[in-house]
Chain A
Amino acid sequence: MRMTSPIQRLTLTYIVSFVLILGLVISGYWLLVTFSSRLAQNDALLEVTHQQQIRAQQVVLIANELVLFADGQRATALRAELRTLRSDIQRTHRQMLATSSSPSIKQITPTLERFLQYVTQFIETPSQQLNRDNLDLRAMQTNLAALQSDLNAISNLLLTESQRLRDQIALIQSSILAIIMLLVIGSGVFVLRPFTRRARREAEQLQMLSLVARFTDNAVIITDREGHIEWVNEGFTRISGYTLDEVVGRKPGHFLQGPETDPETVKLMSQAIHNGESIQTEIVNYTKDGRPYWLAINISPVYDHQHNLIRFIAIESDITHQKEMERMLRAALKESRDVMNALDQSAILSIADPEGRILEVNERFCTITGYSADELIGQDHRIFKSGVHPPEFFADLWQTIKAGRIWRNEICNRAKDGHLFWVDTTIVPVIGEDGQPERYLAVRFDITARKKSEEQLRASETRYRSVITAMSEGIVVMNKSGIIETCNASAEHILGLSYDQLIGRTSFDPRWQAIREDGSPFPGEEHPIMVSLTTGQPQQDVIMGIHKPNGELTWISINSQPLCDDHGQVYAAVASFHDITARRNAERELRFQKTLLECQTEASPDGVLVVSPDRRWLYANRRFLEMWHLTELPVHATTCAVSMEKMLAQVCEPERVRNEIEELYANPQLTGKAEIELKDGRTFERYSAPVISAEGEYYGRVWFFRDVTERRAIERMKNEFVAVVSHELRTPLTSIRGSLGLLAGGVVGELPPRAASMIDIALKNSERLIRLINDILDIEKIESGKMVFKFQPVVLDELVRQTIEANRGFAQQYNVTLELTATLPGVQVYADPDRITQVFTNLISNAIKFSPPGGKVEIAIGREPHGRLRVTVTDYGPGIPVEFRSRIFQKFAQADSSNTRQQGGTGLGLSISRAIVERHGGQIGFVTATGVGTTFYVDLAEYRPHTATISLPPAQSHAPRILICEDDPDIAALLALILQQAGYATDVAYSLAEARNLLNQHEYRALTLDLIWPNEDSRAFIREIRQQSHTRHLPIVVVSARAGEEQMLNNADGDVVDWLSKPIDQQRLLTALRRAVQRTRATRPHILHVEDDGDVAAIIGLLLDEIADVTTASTISEAQTLLKEQSFDLVILDQILPDGNGIELLPLIEQQQPPLPIILFSVRDLEPEIASRVAVTMVKSRTTNTELITAVSRLLDQTPKTIKEESL
């Protein structure tokens, strides 16, 4: 290969460049010159063109002049001038054609020639023929225009051409300048500096090369072109053993090659050398001492500058060791290939690059993953990610293999079709030369099946473990040595010991303090688990008491089971047990209750029998058996049927009794009371009630039999006595009264005046005695509850009119007139007409008696709030004396005995009237003023036949009523104002007497009391209030100037709620009253009953009348209004209402302060969410009256008993 030195190449490059640039400059110059000349030519042409134009114009002008003005001489001159011009034009045009090759010039030639032709014709035209209409002149003029335009076009073209040339010239000039500048700069930069640097570097390289050649491990041989050695380096000597002197002039092949040398290689080398080519090969050579070695040889020909081959240079390196390694590697590779094959057959293999991308996979890999090899190569291993392992798992994997360590674990992967498989994976990092892993070989074995079975095992173990953990039963496992090995959480809980405390204990541990049911110690070897362990027998339901570490005695019921191995040998025992302490306690309590109940029942004077729903005897006390003469019958053998027949055989009306009993059995909810007459003369009172648990379960029926023979006999005797007495008294009275009446009536003749007055007295008193007997009989009947009322709708107006008429005669005796001042025709009340007449008669006769002679008694019927009707009887008598007002309704109460005698009353009339009115659900009262008169009133509920609702006792005005006792009218007015603004109703008593009167007439929630009264003792008044039953609990707030000192002296007795000084502290007064009213409310709660069925509402109203005030709402909207307007203590709620579900009211009820308890009558079971918001749920058809009353009482935090006491 012929080499030229870089310097030469560089120089050459420079020269070529210079020549090129020079050429460029020269050609530029040439162009410049050419363009300049063309430019000049153009300019000349332009000039000429202009001249031609002018000339042509002149021709036309002269022609015109010739036509118009020329005379002979002038015409000749003009003709000559025309000729000159024509030839000028012609000549110039020819010159232009000659100088310019522009085709446009040629194009105008025809136009020009035509023009000139006309000019010639014109010139030659004789003068006579010359005129304005000369055709030639016309043609000339016409052609002049064409010529002018052509010439103009030419001149324009020329102008454009010139401009272009000028631009090009400018461009060329600047290019030449730029090239010259480049030449100057380039020569400085590129020619001089690299030249010197390269020269230096080449010298250094040469020196280094020679050093390398000398000191390299490789052998370097330089031969001449024929292959004779010229030079070898030390490396050659080291490898071959020959020195330079020994080999100079020799051919290497002759002494270096030997029998193992590959002839083919030698031949190739010879050929290459012969051709002067370089060759690179490996060959076996022999050392001087005959040892073969492998060489890698590189022979290159060396050429001089003239490309003549001058020598060869061979560089040899000893590759014997490499060759050996190669052989070993091949062997190893073969071996590993075998291993790989084996692996390939058995394992799932993949190779990945350091980033985890798959480089190679085997067939099994494809099979298990479901991907083809093509899909996998280049993919990241993460495509198999199953999501089973946490990120830390993979972090550990990568950390391990990146550090070059082998990682092994079980991996769950996801196949292409989504199914998961488990592989035991070993990842071997293949470490590269840089010490970093360059490949990862992953070997996997499919362990999915194993994993699955492991998973199943684990699941079932977990299941069992969770079952055991969750069991409420305690589980303890004891090993063969009798030591507790394990236990569950319930065992810890029941035994009160922690797991650690339990493990290792034996049944002999004294800390158990185990006892039997009878209290005797429970020896360790008899513990059921020990028994199972020693005998191999299971133990059932063994009761054992053990003491917890805290000393508490716990009773457990134990079952134990031995665990046997395949040979039937017991190797452990399991005990399961549960805590029965509560059950035992409950049982004991139940036994106690049962004993108590039995004792009570046995001691009862009543016969008690309890019968199951299937009519078996559950219990009968001794008294029952005695009463019915059943003691001979063994109780356990007694069936209801047998005993019932025996019992029925003893009664007077067996069929009636049987029917009653059957009816009760048929209707479990019924309670019944009846009297049974026995053939032997005894009378039993029979009471029967269902036995129903709090949950509503029907257990059967209880029967009570009370022997009332004696009581009935006494009652009969009493009745007979009263009847007899009344008869026996009346019979003589009949004679007395009759005789006196006849005497007084003058039937037997005129009496002397004194005798007549005596007879009158006797007659009056006999009449009084009769009334007295009648009233006593009435009172007796009322009090014994035997007064029978026959309620029916009654037209009040008619009844009152009749009563008035019946009393007119009596009124006339007193010279008193009766007048019905107001009435409501047709209004009805539901009443016993006889009894109500009795009341009105009593009131009217009283009014008559207390009217002054000539006076008037006014009777009126009017309306009151809440559907009440009021009948008033007003007299204008002296009024009721103050001290008598509070006692007026009491028995034998009359203002004084003289008055009684005077008026002939019995003192029982008002008492009877009040009793009758109250039995009608009405009220009786009076308003009186001393010296003015008295009005008695009777309030009764109006009866509305079409609404079919039973009117309830009056709904009271729910504004709490306060009595103000204050003698100063101004202060009283102030107090009334304050209290009314706070929402109370008020009455004012200006004297204590008036206060007493008002207290008797109305029910007050509290009273305010001034302490200083003229001539009256307020302390005595307080005592008086406390002594009276209906005012015993009335809260008193003292408002007095003396409050402070009085309080100091008297607060000990607690009669007064609060003591307020004057001037009045409004806030404190209201607070005190609010407290007081709340206190009284506790004794008389207010219930809202939401119920659309009038009958049910009436029944419940009556049921709860004793406990509370009941206000009924029949719709949700009505209830909402009531809840907003009034305050309640409890709500009884029906679920089904005309305008929705009662549950809708819950939020509003819950908003009340404080939230009200709710009793809900539901038709079915409630959702838990609703049930949790309701205090008590009841089912209408299944709830007894007693249950309802009990529930209401409980919710109002009262017991029925205390209510009863308070209400009495």
Chain B
Amino acid sequence: MTSLQKILFVEDDPDIQMVAQLALEAVGGYTVQMCSSGKEALAVAEQFAPDLILLDVMMPGMDGPTTLIELRKKPSLTQTPVVFMTARVQRHEIEQYLAMGAADVISKPFDPMTLSAQVADIWVKAHETRS
């Protein structure tokens, strides 16, 4: 994979879904598959085969970390960079997520104009680390 193209975005808040999708598609030019819950993400992820997954932490039903664990169980997604997005920017939480295998953590609220660049940076870094 030589560039970031497909992003799976998992977010329960429809407003944020809209803003984020616009920001990534319009500003970054990425292909975004939006999911409203962890369950949905698990259902579509393999088929969509994203280059990067953005995962909200606080979600009803299955929360972000659980979703990550479940996603990693799928053979095709074991190496896909996962970035958490959270409004709780407690330092220990960030560390916890990184320990779980997250590539990075983006705090909410985010700047929609720079989000694409931020995501691109993370993908490059994750890609370099892996190789």
Contact = CB atoms under 8 A, between A and B. Distances in A.
**Does B bind A?**
yes
Given A738-B112, A741-B113, A748 B89 contact: no
A738 B90 CA distance: 22
Contacts of B109: 730, 733-738, 766, 770
Contacts of A733: 108-109
Nearest to A733: B109
B23 A738 contact: yes
Interface string A140-171: 00000000000000000000000000000000
A738 B16 CA distance: 8
Interface in B8-26: 13, 15-16, 18-20, 22-23, 26
A536 B14 CA distance: 109
Nearest to B111: A741
Contacts of B112: 737-739, 741-742, 745, 747
A747 B87 contact: no
B96 to A, nearest CB: 13
Contacts of A723: 88, 90
A742 B113 contact: yes
A733 B13 CA distance: 12
A735 B13 CA distance: 9
B16 A745 contact: no
Interface in B83-121: 87-92, 108-113
Contacts of B15: 732, 734-735, 739
Nearest to A834: B91
Contacts of A732: 15
Given A734-B108, A770-B109, A747 B13 contact: no
A948 interface: no
A1010 B112 CA distance: 59
Contact of B22 (A730, A734, A744, A748): A748
A745 B19 CA distance: 12
Contacts of B90: 723
Interface string B65-93: 00000000000000000000001111110
B126 interface: no
B91 to A, nearest CB: 7
Interface in A840-855: none
B27 A731 contact: no
B88 A726 contact: yes
Interface residues of A, number: 26
Nearest to A732: B15
A269 B109 CA distance: 177
A736 B15 CA distance: 9
A731 B19 contact: no
Interface in A722-781: 723, 726-727, 729-739, 741-742, 744-745, 747-748, 766, 770, 774, 777
Nearest to B86: A727
Nearest to B89: A774
Given A726-B88, A730-B108, A774-B89, A747 B27 contact: yes
B87 A735 contact: no
Nearest to A766: B109
A742 B26 contact: yes
A788 interface: yes
Contacts of B113: 741-742, 744-745, 747
Contacts of A744: 113
Given A735-B15, A738-B23, A727 B110 contact: no
Given A733-B109, A738-B109, A745 B27 contact: yes
A731 B27 CA distance: 21
Nearest to A770: B109
A726, A736, A738, A770 interface centre (most CB from chain B within 10 Å): A738
B110 A738 contact: yes
Interface string B20-37: 101100110000000000
Contacts of A726: 87-88
B110 A742 contact: no
Nearest to A790: B91
Contact of A735 (B16, B58, B91): B16
A748 B21 CA distance: 12
A723 B90 CA distance: 9
Nearest to A734: B109
Interface string B34-49: 0000000000000000
Given A738-B23, A739-B19, A731 B87 contact: yes
Nearest to A737: B109
Given A726-B87, A742-B23, A731 B111 contact: no
Interface string A898-929: 00000000000000000000000000000000
B87 A734 contact: yes
Given A726-B88, A742-B22, A774-B89, A737 B111 contact: yes
B86 to A, nearest CB: 8
A734 B26 contact: no
A326 to B, nearest CB: 142
B92 A738 contact: no
Contacts of B58: 727
Contacts of A738: 16, 19-20, 23, 109-110, 112
B116 to A, nearest CB: 11
A727 B88 contact: yes
Nearest to B91: A788
Given A732-B15, A735-B19, A739-B15, 6 more contacts: A726-B88, A730-B108, A742-B19, A742-B113, A745-B27, A745-B112
Interface of B: 13, 15-16, 18-20, 22-23, 26-27, 58, 87-92, 108-113
11 contacts: A723-B88, A723-B90, A727-B58, A731-B87, A733-B109, A734-B110, A735-B16, A738-B16, A739-B19, A747-B23, A788-B92
Interface of A: 723, 726-727, 729-739, 741-742, 744-745, 747-748, 766, 770, 774, 777, 788, 834
Complex A-B, nearest 10 residue pairs according to Cβ-Cβ distance, in ascending order: A738-B19, A730-B87, A735-B15, A734-B109, A741-B112, A737-B109, A727-B87, A734-B108, A745-B113, A738-B112
